[in-house]
């Protein structure tokens, strides 16, 4: 448990001011770069901007509940702020699931700003029972297995721990079986033989203790796993105008990029670490092999459009808006 007082040296409150201590729940380790390089500076900035009226205590590693429950925890006030992966609840958030489609993100930094900017227009419709703060993503992830993975056929017949619901469907299209558990559980399913392959960004293999279990890696950016910070809506709406302004100022595309930046750099560096380890083998697909991956992923877009039918939105317009936002932030993989 880490209080923003410990990060920001707890500013003295002005006379007559009241303090709020908010609980931020997440499900990665407390040593994760998302906390040390993202959440802690964010919490310190909020404490400073509010002159100590708002402090944040961080509860890492599923202390307050399972990874998949963090949205409902924020909605219900179990946590004031929840770090969520919408893809851990298949079918519940079809709009933001557009960003789970493969081969969209060239990088996480501009990508997080673009994602937040794009989704802000839809958040009230899809996540209206919470206050949507910002969306995040990690450096693009890939497949890591116990045997070589070069082409889509290499996934056929394998048990795979996917990153989210869309990637689970991708695994099924490839002829694999999805073992859908959260990132903190990937080591367990790999070590017990329940999974042969996992999806993850590179450094996460070390963070979650899977680096000794998967030694073959598809050296290609396949997907971005989408995350977000959401807050209890009644809490935010009940804040004073001054405190609400502080929160609004810290829930922006610019803060999404800052929150993702350190995490992205650490994950990207994990690739170099793995490449330098003789126990690991990176398999980089050539142009023809990469085209096979793109062809295999193509049905996912049509399936996503069908899932959008109940939203009342034009799916093409939604997806094109995401691509345009990524292009504006130099983070669309199709332009690379």
Give per-residue pLDDT as tens, 187-212: 999 999 999 999 999 999 999 999 99
Residue 209's pLDDT is 97
SS3 state of residue 282: strand
In the prediction, which pLDDT does 13 show?
Answer: 52
Please tell me whether residue 130 adopts helix, strand or coil conformation. Answer: strand
Question: May I ask the CATH class of domain 142-222+277-335?
Answer: alpha beta
- Whether residue 294 is predicted with pLDDT greater than 70 in this model: the reply is yes
Four-point Cα dihedral 7, 11, 17, 20, nearest 10: 10
Residue 6 has pLDDT above 80, yes or no: no
2-139+224-266 and 142-222+277-335 share one CATH topology?
Answer: yes
Encode pLDDT of 299-317 as tens digits.
999 999 999 999 999 999 9
C-alpha 257/C-alpha 330 separation (Å) is 13
Q: Which CATH number does the domain 2-139+224-266 belong to among 3.40.710.10, 3.40.190.10, 3.40.190.170, 3.30.300.10?
A: 3.40.190.170
pTM of the model: 0.92
Say what percent of the chain tops pLDDT 70.
Answer: 95
- Would you place residue 335 in the very low, low, confident or very high pLDDT band (cuts 50, 70, 90)? confident
Domain ranges of the chain: 2-139+224-266, 142-222+277-335
Query: 287-307 and 165-173 helices cross at what angle (nearest 10)?
Result: 120
Please provide the distance, in angstroms rounded to a whole number, between the alpha carbons at the two ends of the chain.
41
DSSP state of 29: -
Structure tokens at 98: 């557009």
pLDDT tens per residue, range 133-158: 999 999 999 999 999 999 999 999 99
pLDDT > 70? residue 267: yes
Predicted confidence at residue 17, as pLDDT, reads: 54
Helix ranges (DSSP H) in the chain: 4-8, 33, 40-49, 70-76, 109-119, 123-126, 165-173, 186-191, 204-207, 233-237, 241-249, 253-275, 287-307, 315-328
The better pLDDT of the pair 179, 13 is held by 179
Can you tell me the distance from the alpha carbon of 65 to that of 148, in angstroms, rounded to the nearest whole number? 36
Tokens coding 23: 């609980």
CA angle 42, 40, 82 (to 5 degrees): 75
Strand-pair partners of 332: 105
**Three-state secondary structure call for residue 158:** coil
Average pLDDT over residues 240-256: 98
Where residue 12 falls among pLDDT bands split at 50, 70, 90?
A: very low
**239 pLDDT higher than 50:** yes
- Average pLDDT for 80-100: 96
Element (H, E) at 25: strand 20-25
């Amino acid at each position: 448990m880490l209080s923003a007082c410990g990060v920001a040296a707890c500013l003295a409150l002005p006379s007559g001011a009241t303090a709020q201590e908010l609980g931020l729940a997440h499900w990665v380790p407390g040593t994760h770069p998302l906390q040390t390089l993202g959440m802690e500076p964010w919490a310190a900035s909020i404490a400073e901007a509010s002159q100590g009226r708002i402090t944040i205590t961080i509860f890492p590693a599923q202390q307050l509940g399972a990874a998949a429950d963090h949205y409902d925890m924020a909605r219900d006030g179990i946590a004031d702020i929840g770090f969520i992966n919408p893809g851990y609840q298949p079918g519940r958030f079809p709009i933001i699931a557009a960003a789970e489609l493969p081969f969209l993100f060239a990088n996480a930094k501009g990508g997080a700003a673009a994602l937040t900017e794009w989704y802000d227009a839809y958040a009230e419709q899809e996540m209206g029972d919470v206050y949507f703060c910002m969306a995040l993503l990690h450096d693009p992830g890939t497949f890591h297995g116990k045997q070589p993975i070069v082409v889509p056929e290499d996934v056929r017949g394998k048990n795979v721990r996917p990153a989210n619901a869309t990637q689970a469907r991708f695994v099924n299209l490839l002829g694999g079986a999805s073992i859908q558990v959260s990132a903190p559980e990937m080591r367990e399913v790999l070590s017990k033989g329940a999974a042969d392959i996992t999806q993850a960004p590179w450094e996460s293999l070390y963070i979650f203790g899977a680096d000794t279990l998967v030694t073959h890696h598809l050296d290609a950016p396949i997907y971005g796993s989408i995350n977000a910070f959401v807050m209890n809506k009644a809490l935010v709406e009940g804040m004073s105008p001054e405190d609400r302004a502080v929160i609004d100022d810290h829930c922006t595309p610019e803060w999404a990029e800052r929150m993702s930046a350190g995490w992205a750099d650490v994950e990207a560096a994990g690739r170099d670490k793995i490449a330098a380890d003789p126990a690991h083998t990176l398999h980089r697909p050539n142009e023809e092999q990469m085209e096979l991956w793109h062809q295999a992923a193509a049905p996912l877009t049509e399936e996503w459009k069908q899932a959008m039918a109940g939203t009342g939105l034009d799916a093409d317009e939604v997806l094109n808006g995401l691509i345009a936002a990524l292009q504006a932030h130099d983070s669309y993989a199709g332009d690379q």
